Structure formats: C-alpha cells, structure tokens
Chains A and B, each alone.
Chain A
Amino acid sequence: MNDRKPAVLETLVTAKDVALGVVNCAGQTLSIMPGQVVGLLGKNGAGKTTLLDGLLGYTFLNAGEVTVFGHNPTELPADVCSQIGFVAQQDDLLPWLTGSEMLAATRLFYPNWNHQLVDRLLDRWSVPVWQNISEMSVGERQKLALVAAMAHEPKLLVLDEPAASLDPLARRALIGELIDIVADGERSILLSSHIFSDIERVASDVWLLEKGRITYQGGLDELKESVVRLHLTRPLQVNGSLELTTKQVIRTEVNTGRETWIIRGWNEALAAECAAQITSPYQVEALGLEDAFVEISQ
C-alpha cells in the first residue's frame, strides 16, 4: 500500500476508458505527470475540447474514470481547484467588468497570486485592462484569460487553443512563458493547439486524437521519428520480402519513375530491413510534426 500511494499522488491526471460525446477511449489510459507538457492534437471535431471538458469535470463522462490530483474532477476540493488553471477556446470572463477588475476578482479566490508575473504579462502583451471586457477584441480577451489562469501559478495548466486569437508576438511570448513554467519540473501543461510550431517548441509529449480515439500517446520526438516518407525509385528492386516495412505503410503515392510510401511506426528494425532488402536507390524523409500529422490524418 505504502509503495503505491506516492505513485498515485505523483500523477496529476489519470483517465481510463473515457467516453463522452464523440470521445471513446475504451481500453486506453491517459496520464499527465509533473513536469510534462502534453500537446493534444486532432482535427476539427475530433473531440479535443470535449476530452478537456471531461478531464476537468465540466462534463460528466458517459463511461470511464478520471482522477485529477487523486480526486473525481466533478467534485474537486477547493485546494485542488486552486492548483489548476484553465483557458478555454471561448473565454469565460465576466463581460461587464474591466480587465483589472476581472483580475482582482479572480485573485479573491486564490491564496497564491504572482503580482510580478501579472504585471509583466500585462505589460508584455499590452492588455488594455482599463477597458470593459465586452469592448475588448478577441485577442485581448484571450490574453487576459491567459493572465488570469497563469497568475496563481497552477500546478496543472490546461489550455484549449490558447494561441488561436493571438498575434505572432504574443504567441511567442506565451510559448516563452510556458517554457519558464515547466522549467522547474514540477508543473505541467496540457495544451491543445492547431499551431504545430508552438507544440513542437514546448511539448514533451503528444496525445493524438483521431475520431474520438487516442491513436498516439507518447514522446513528441518519437512521434516525429515514427512517421517517415520512404521515396523509392521505380522499378523497385528488392532481394527478398519487405514484410515488416509493408505492414506499416499507411498510404502510397505513385508518380512516374518514383513511388512514395508513408510509413507509420518507423524504427531501427524497419530501417535495417530496408537497407538489407532494397537494392534500387531509395531515400528516407523524416517529417516535422505538422507533416506527420497531415500524413496520419489523411
């Protein structure tokens, strides 16, 4: 018992067999450990926001079990809530308050509040805090929501498309802040975004959500390395069978004198098999995260 307890406490979020809305992760377990930055990737309508709603107790699960800091997310104690920061795609700010009133109001509910961080972010992002929130632009509201969610230095920061409405400067500043946040190795971030360059810069792990199921959960680099384009010259000359490699081919493109295999699950064994069997010229192209995502999603 004593051996198991620290392991449970260490995991910030655990989700088993989650099913709600379009999300159906039966037989799958998701977890976020301290210091981890998880990028949640998926096409529009894949269920990213729904999954985040389920993980944070906004929506009840149809099936499965989620624990956040060891608690059911729909019944979180106040001290656990104060360790979570959440920025939704559609912000939840109170439109009748000014920006500074909103921050002051949010501060009332948190024992810990980093004034220096707030001042720095407001200054850096030029948030017009004197303006009524209803009069702010979408980007300004997004920045204010980010400041409000980060100011209490939560152990778990959940961001749903945080950079969608930000200008490039503010986006870079946000990524810089996120990198600073996780630098101590104790705080974690779950980040859903369509901007793959941001995910590549900050995420250590990736959850790939396709049609409601997690099809990849693991390191970002491993994902990038596992998806390659194998460019072959036609006619293809092989010594023996390419059994291992062909099993992993998810798509092929055939052009005059050239053939391309998109392989998911590329590893050393496959590389060795190709080197041993293929005698005609060929080339292995490693992909960036965006290209890998596009190839997987097609």
Chain B
Amino acid sequence: MSLAYQIFATWRDPAVKAQRDWLFLQFWGRTSNQRMWWFLGFMMLLCFLWLLPNEHSKMFYMPLCFLSYFHATNAVEVIAALKKWRLRSVQLQNVMVQALLLYWLVWSLLGLMIGYRMENATLLVLLSLVQLNVLLMSYSVPQALDNKALNLLNAPMLQGQGIWAVLIPTFALIFFPQHEALISNILLAATFSLLLALTWQLRRFGRARQLENIKHAERHTNEVPQQSKHPLRLRLRLEMNMGGALDNKGLRKILVSLLLVPYAFILMYQHLLPASFATGQWGAGAFFAILTPGFLGLFNGRQQWSGAWLVRSHSRAQLWWQDELLFLGALFITAVLNCALLLLLQIDSAGNVLNAALLFVFGAASLRYLIFSVPWMSMWSLTADGRTTQEGSLTSFFCLGFLWYWLTVIWGSGVQSNISVMIIAFGLVAPILAYVSLRKALKIDLGAIRRVKRS
C-alpha cells in the first residue's frame, strides 16, 4: 500500500483526526500565547503590505523570510519533541504527513496572498524554500535538536546554520537585483530539490535504521562528564555579570544583536528605501537606535545577584560595580568598534557618526540607570528595589517611548546645536542616575529576586 494511499485512507479516521489536529495546532505555536503572537505578526505584516506601494516590496523580503524561518523552526521543535526517533512509527508517519499537509496548505494560501499582492513570484519561491529547508532539517537530524553540545549537528548550531538559507537568497536578491531572474531560477531549482529530499525523508520516517542514531547519541552523552571542563573564573564572572552563557549560542546572540541586525537593517535601508528617505539625518543615528535595545537587553546580570550573594561577591556595592564595569566597558568598545565600521563603510559623515556614538553611549547608560533608579519602572521584569512587576514594563515602555519620540525629533531636525545639547544633557544625567541606581542597589532585596527568579 503506497504512502499516499495510507495518508488519504486514514484521513477521516477519528483517532487520526484528533492526533492530526493536535499536531497541526502545535505547529502554529506550543502555547496559545505563541499562536496569538504569530497571528498578530502575520496580520501586521499583511497590513503593511497592503498599505505600501509595490515598489517598496523588497523591504519585506527579509522580514517575511525571517517570519517564515522562525515559524518553521517551531514545527521542527514539535517534530523533535516526539522523543527523537524512538516514538516514531509508521502510524505516526501518517498523522505527521497529514498535519504537515494541512500546515502546508495554510502556508501556501498565505504565500499566494502575499505573492498576489506583491506581484512577485520570487518571494513565493523564497518562502517555500525556507519552509522546506527547515522541515528537511527536522526530518534529517531531529535528535540534533534535542541533544545539545554533542557535535556539529547540535540544535543551536543547526538553527544557526539554517538561518543562512534565509540570509543568502534575500541578500542576493537585495544586492544583485540585476540578476533577479537567475537567482529566482536557482531558488526554484533548490526548492524542487528540497521537496524531493523531504519526500525521501518522509519515507524513512520511523524506520529502524534511525534507532542507531539514538544509541550513538546516548554514548556521547555518557562521555560528557569526562569532557566537561571547568569554566574559567573570568568567563564565569562575565557570564554571571551578563546573566547568560558565553557559549556558541551566547556569542551568536551577541553578534546578532550588536552587528548583524543593525548592519542588516542599515544596509537594507540604504539599498531599498527611496532616495528621499535614505538621505538626511538618519544613517548613523538609525544604526545606533537599532543597536540600543539589543545592547541593553544583553546585560541582565542583576537577576543572578541572589545566587552571587554569599558566593561570588559579599557586598551589594561589589555586585553593582562588577556589573556596571562590564556594561560600561562593553558600551565603550561597542561604540568605538561600530564607529570605525560605520566610517569604513561610509554609511554616514564623520560628524554624524561621532554624534550618534556619543548619544548611544550616554543615552544607553542613562536609560539603564534611569530604569534602575525609579522603583515604578522595570527592566527584565525587575525593578530597582529587586521586586517584579508587570505594570513596570508597561510604564517603562510608555515613558521611554515618549523620550524616544523627542530624541528622534531632535535628531531628525539635524540642528547640530540641539543635538549637542541633547548629548550633553544625557552626559550629565547619566552619572547622576548611576549614583542614584547605586544607592538603590545598596538596599536591593536579594531575597525577592531569588523568590521570583525563573531559571
């Protein structure tokens, strides 16, 4: 009995239907919150697509592909969560293929809508390519998504490599529009190849040969205790100050938030926006503005203070000083490096780059210390006195949004004297707020931090 016959013969089976529906739902998000956010994300993007003229459609290559990529990785996680290959069976294969077909149908409709609106078949192919690539990963090496730190096929690495499937074709389309026809044909060929590979992988689903992979993986797992090396004191200190691991995934996160996202943004913006938008005051300013939230988000060592108390540092002043030393050091290095890169890439004039860098340094420092000084604001759901509050995030968002608005108005005006006054104001406010945040930190409730911590 062929696979296709089995799939359609069991379509109306109530047991299969229940499992299929559950899996289909999981593909769209593991929780109802996730599903809701994906839906809102799609809707927002579609609205933008409808509102903007067609000549700006290239702006959406990257966001659409990323949306597609991250959504597909969610499906991969679902497949990988089926206990590697062990619980896979021929019966489950039918359910899985049915759920994927449904998923595929919805994606195709979405793709058709986007393709129809943008009158751009390349984009449709690109979306399919991303989806197929990620799904193929899920069928080929699902155990790699479950077992971390075993070999090159581990999950973060795999997802990290998979992201090139999004970046390379979209960058190619953005930067070499004259070869669009050729690139589209290559993408089409790649899509067909991936489709064939995926069909082949589907037929191998649940076959006993794959069980050897599990034995192999478990043998590696047992060897890990001998392989694990003691972390260096400095690395551990950095990790505790930053509140996250400095492993491959952590370093990638730093690179993505400090380099990839802002530079991808600025390059796209220079290549894709009409000249009227791209000229003017925005170059380096937009770059550092994009950089700021990611940079601030990297330093959440305060959440680890309760664990460091009695072990790493024995006074709150020490904890504060160690965290802020790293923050300020990283702030300075990031500003200098990016200044040099922006000048090298000739993204903006030297004066603008310097202004933007100074604004970034003093602005980011002021923002951090402002949030850590005012009890009703919060960063990473943590207030200045160590308590958590949901309202804090909302009020912070509104206040900072307001501040952000005025900042962009002044920057956008391009009047050097106003910009200088703004930089000086931030420069004066930053040390004052730093002092206030230190005073707050000296009285911080470490017990409260520990009690609400979710590790």
Contacts and interface: CB of A to CB of B under 8 A. Distances in A.
B393 to A, nearest CB: 22
Nearest to B316: A74
A64 to B, nearest CB: 16
Interface stretch (B78-86, B168-176, B226-234, B285-293): B226-234
Given A76-B314, A108-B233, A133 B455 contact: yes
Contacts of A92: 304, 306-307, 450, 453
Contact of B310 (A50, A81, A93, A97): A81
Nearest to B233: A108
A90 interface: yes
A91 B443 CA distance: 22
Given A49-B451, A50-B447, A74-B316, A58 B224 contact: no
Interface stretch (B12-20, B106-114, B239-247): B239-247
A177 interface: no
A164 to B, nearest CB: 14
A96 interface: yes
A57 B309 contact: yes
A132 B231 contact: no
B231 A130 contact: no
Contacts of A74: 315-316
A132 B233 CA distance: 19
Given A53-B447, A100-B225, A104-B231, A94 B314 contact: no
A97 B314 contact: no
B325 interface: no
B455 A59 contact: no
B225 A130 contact: yes
A257 interface: no
A88 B448 CA distance: 12
B236 interface: yes
Contacts of A107: 230
Contacts of B309: 57-58
Interface size class of B (residues with CB under 8 A): 35 or more
A268 B307 CA distance: 49
A91 B240 CA distance: 15
Contacts of A96: 239, 244-245, 247, 250
Nearest to B311: A109
B231 A88 contact: no
A133 B222 CA distance: 16
Contact of B314 (A59, A78, A108, A132): A78
Contact of A59 (B244, B245, B312, B445): B445
Contacts of A100: 225, 228
A129 interface: yes
B225 A129 contact: yes
A94 B239 contact: yes
Nearest to A85: B310
B89 interface: no
B271 interface: no
B91 interface: no
Interface residues of A, number: 40
A167 interface: no
Nearest to A50: B447
A94 B306 contact: no
A77 B239 contact: no
A92 B453 CA distance: 8
A166 to B, nearest CB: 19
A106 B455 contact: no
A101 interface: yes
Contact of A93 (B224, B447, B455): B455
Contacts of A49: 447, 451
A97 B244 contact: no
A95 B233 contact: no
B446 interface: yes
B30 interface: no
Nearest to A57: B309
Contacts of B245: 96-97
B418 interface: no
B451 A94 contact: no
Nearest to B312: A109
A104 B306 contact: no
A58 B450 contact: yes
B403 to A, nearest CB: 31
A222 interface: no
B315 A75 contact: yes
Nearest to A59: B447
A271 to B, nearest CB: 44
A245 interface: no
A77 B313 CA distance: 9
Interface in A81-127: 81, 84, 86, 88, 90-98, 100-101, 104-109
Interface of B: 148, 221-222, 224-225, 228, 230-231, 233, 236, 239-240, 244-245, 247, 250, 304, 306-307, 309-312, 314-316, 443, 445-448, 450-451, 453, 455
14 contacts: A53-B445, A53-B446, A59-B447, A84-B310, A86-B310, A90-B451, A94-B307, A94-B455, A101-B230, A104-B230, A105-B236, A129-B225, A130-B221, A130-B222
Interface of A: 49-50, 53, 56-60, 74-78, 80-81, 84, 86, 88, 90-98, 100-101, 104-109, 129-130, 132-134
